[in-house]
């Protein structure tokens, strides 16, 4: 169970005697029983049943003007949505809980809501609002444990944004708290985070703090915390000792599997998938499979909760319809409009679900793209550089270096430098800001040598600032693929690239006087096939023509 939920269970208070005088005691007695049943369902992870109960409880509490009870019930609905990864809906529900609880004055449950909002904001990378939410929780709390947890979370945000010095300063301040020894779980978390931060700062103290945090977590059997410790150990060793790093990643996965924490299992599999080993492909496939299954499970849950809200609203509407059968026709029309509105809300919920599924597919494609890029770079380094370096080493070791030998050595080293520069240029980060046109021109100009003449025609005809960033990246990579192919394979000495834009349609015409291209031999791994796939992804087209000698390529796409 998440820690902020434990805080919530400890904070919830029943109405005081003074409050009880203003409400129907008999009605409240029934609500209390339903409330306890809902909490039992929640603790037993019967989330669907708990969500249904809390949805009804919220409205029952509101009917009695008990904003504290309504706020608490709404908060736990938001917590359930958080558990299923529905962060947008969780945030909306948490804000609704905040509105109810603020009406009660200084309600202790406000702390839990602010902590939840902080977690949601951090999850969606809204770090500024995450920090504000945690600071609100700190300002409301008199409990040292709650304060230390919130401060630790703020320090984690500083680490997320690479503000390691600020993170370390705050963590060391928390470490000095006289209350920390009374809360071993929080103390272990703080020590582990200090070790991870020291590691980011390349400080030798890192390993000592990581070990201390791990020992404390083993002592109190904090299995969820142990997963975090093992993954931090993985980060510590991944660059210098692959086998040891993998062993800690496997421990993290085993522990996460034991406690049925799918998100932590995914993190462990990701570490295993991106660390060189004989089983790397196996781990990568397991990572993709779990990632897909999580998205499917989350999507089903989101749809189910939307259906619960719809069914409840529909049931309430039907009950109301029975009471107003004798009312005027205009009241019935109003009811029909209400039902229509709820139908629209449900339809919007379905649309949102589709968007989530599309994003899941896009994310999976991005993961595959990163994996393929890493393998391509690794192969280039092995095939194009490793043998050259070995030959130079053998050359230097096997003879005395004469003047002629020195010149050959310098030439060979220059060749390696040029290959390294090409690899770097093919995989570098692309600036898609207002400077993009200069970046693209510079890349093309790099291929203009004493033996190759590159002509750039009507470049300024293109309104680059109106083109989306991902399309700019596609244009850059496609032209880069063409230039690399020209340099490595076609042996051209004249290249012309003409840019045109008409009716919001960009056209780029490439031609050279090289040896041409057999388009029938294109395959997935070929650079030009990659270029064709890239253009297709932005609703464009790429056509090849070698009928008149050399290579001619026509690339079009919409702005």
- Strand pairing class (494-502; 453-457): parallel
Give how far the C-alpha of residue 532 lies from the chain's centroid of Cα atoms, to the nearest Å. 28
447: how many CB neighbours lie within 10 A of its CB?
17
Pairing of strands 551-558, 541-545: antiparallel
How far, in Å, CA of 315 to CA of 325, rounded? 16
Say what the pLDDT of residue 75 is: 95
What pairing do the DSSP bridges indicate for beta strands 453-457 and 541-545? unpaired
The DSSP symbol for 525 reads T
Dihedral angle sign, alpha carbons of residues 388, 390, 396, 398:
negative
The Cβ of residue 279 has, within 10 Å, a number of other Cβ atoms equal to 13
Class of the CATH domain delimited by 430-558: alpha beta
Percent of the chain with pLDDT over 70: 79
Report in angstroms the alpha-carbon separations of 290 from 236, 255, 308, 384. 25, 16, 27, 36
Helix (H) or strand (E) holding 202: none
Separation CA 417–CA 310 (nearest Å): 64
d(CA 44, CA 489): 65
Which CATH class for the 3-222 domain? mainly alpha
Write down the pLDDT at residue 50. Answer: 93
Secondary structure of residue 320 in the 3-state scheme: helix
Rounded to 5 degrees, φ, ψ at 428 are: -80, 170
Paired tokens of 4: 């902020």
Instruction: Kindly state the tokens that stand for 499.
Output: 């840019």
Say which DSSP state 430 is in. -
The rounded distance, in Å, linking the Cα atoms of 460 and 172 is: 55
- Give the pLDDT confidence score for residue 145 in this predicted structure: 84
Find the DSSP H helices in 242-328.
242-258, 262-273, 280-323
**Dist. CA 172–CA 191, nearest whole Å:** 9
Report pLDDT for 455.
95
Q: Which helix (H) or strand (E) holds 499?
A: strand 494-502
Residues 28, 135: Cα–Cα separation, whole Å: 34
Whole-model pTM over 0.95: no
Q: Are 234 and 249 in contact (CB under 8 A)?
A: yes
Residue 384 CA to its chain's centroid (Å): 34
Could you tell me which of 161, 93, 106, 165 has the C-alpha nearest to residue 137?
A: 106
Q: Regarding beta strands 505-512 and 541-545, do their DSSP bridges make them parallel or antiparallel, or are they unpaired?
A: unpaired
Query: What is the spatial distance between Cα 42 and Cα 51, in angstroms, rounded to a whole number?
Result: 8
CA distance 76 to 62: 16
Smallest CA-to-CA distance from 166 within 197, 199, 135 is with: 197
Please list, in sequence order, all residues whose beta carbon lies within 8 angstroms of the beta carbon of residue 61, skipping any fewer than 6 positions away.
31, 67, 68, 69, 70, 73
Helices (H), 381-468: 387-398, 403-426, 436-445
What single-letter DSSP state applies at residue 428? S
In whole angstroms, what is the distance from residue 358 CA to residue 360 CA?
A: 5
Tokens at residue 69, please? 């009870």
CA dist 187 and 179 (Å) reads 9
Collapsing DSSP states into helix, strand and coil, what is residue 510? Answer: strand
- pLDDT in the model for residue 20: 44
End-to-end CA distance of the chain: 48
Query: Which stretches of the chain score pLDDT less than 70?
Result: 1-24, 106-107, 306, 310-328, 360, 362-391, 393-406, 414-415, 417-428, 518-527
């Amino acid at each position: 169970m998440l820690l902020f939920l434990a805080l919530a269970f400890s904070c919830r208070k029943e109405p005081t005697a003074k409050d009880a005088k203003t409400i129907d005691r008999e009605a409240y007695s029934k609500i209390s029983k339903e409330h306890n049943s809902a909490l039992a369902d929640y603790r037993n992870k019967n989330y669907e049943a708990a969500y249904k109960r809390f949805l009804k409880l919220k409205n029952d509490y509101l009917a009695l003007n008990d904003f504290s009870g309504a706020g608490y019930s709404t908060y736990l609905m938001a917590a359930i949505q958080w558990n299923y990864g529905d962060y947008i809906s969780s945030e909306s529900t948490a804000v609704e809980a905040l509105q109810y609880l603020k009406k009660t004055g200084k309600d202790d449950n406000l702390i839990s809501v602010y902590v939840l909002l902080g977690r949601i904001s951090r999850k969606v990378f809204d770090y500024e609002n995450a920090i504000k939410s945690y600071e609100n929780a700190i300002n409301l709390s008199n409990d040292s444990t709650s304060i230390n947890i919130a401060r630790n979370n703020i320090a984690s945000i500083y680490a997320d944004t690479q503000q390691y010095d600020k993170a370390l300063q705050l963590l060391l301040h928390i470490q000095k708290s006289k209350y920390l020894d009374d809360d071993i779980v929080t103390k272990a978390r703080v020590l582990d985070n200090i070790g991870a931060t020291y590691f980011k700062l390349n400080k030798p103290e890192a390993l000592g703090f990581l070990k201390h945090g791990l020992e404390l977590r083993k002592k109190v059997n904090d299995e969820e915390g142990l997963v975090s410790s093992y993954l931090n150990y993985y980060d510590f060793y991944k660059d210098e000792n692959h086998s040891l790093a993998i062993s800690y990643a496997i421990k993290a996965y085993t522990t996460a599997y034991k406690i049925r924490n799918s998100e932590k299992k995914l993190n462990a599999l990701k570490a295993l998938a991106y660390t060189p080993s004989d089983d790397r492909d196996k781990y990568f496939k397991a990572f993709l499979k779990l990632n897909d299954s999580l998205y499917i499970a989350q999507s089903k849950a989101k749809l189910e909760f939307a259906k619960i809200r719809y069914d409840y609203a529909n049931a309430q509407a039907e009950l109301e319809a029975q009471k107003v059968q004798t009312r005027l026709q205009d009241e019935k029309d109003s009811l029909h409009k209400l039902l229509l509105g709820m139908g629209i809300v449900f339809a919007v919920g379905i649309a949102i679900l589709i968007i989530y599924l599309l994003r899941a597919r896009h994310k999976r494609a991005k993961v595959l793209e990163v994996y393929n890029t890493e393998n391509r770079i690794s192969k280039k380094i092995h095939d194009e550089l490793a043998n050259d370096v070995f030959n130079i080493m053998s050359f230097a070791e096997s003879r005395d270096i004469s003047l002629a030998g020195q010149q050959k050595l310098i030439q060979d080293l220059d060749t390696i430098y040029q290959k390294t520069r090409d690899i770097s240029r093919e995989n570098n980060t692309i600036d898609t800001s207002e400077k993009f046109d200069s970046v693209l021109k510079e890349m093309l100009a790099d291929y203009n040598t004493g033996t190759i003449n590159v002509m750039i025609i009507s470049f300024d005809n293109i309104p680059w600032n109106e083109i989306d960033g991902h399309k700019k990246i596609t244009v850059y990579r496609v032209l880069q693929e063409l230039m690399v192919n020209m340099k490595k394979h076609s042996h051209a000495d004249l290249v012309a690239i003409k840019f045109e834009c008409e009716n919001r349609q960009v056209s780029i015409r490439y031609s050279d006087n090289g040896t041409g291209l057999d388009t029938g031999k294109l395959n997935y791994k070929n650079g030009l096939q990659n270029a064709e796939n890239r253009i297709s992804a932005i609703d464009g087209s790429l056509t090849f023509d070698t009928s008149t000698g050399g290579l001619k390529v026509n690339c079009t796409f919409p702005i």
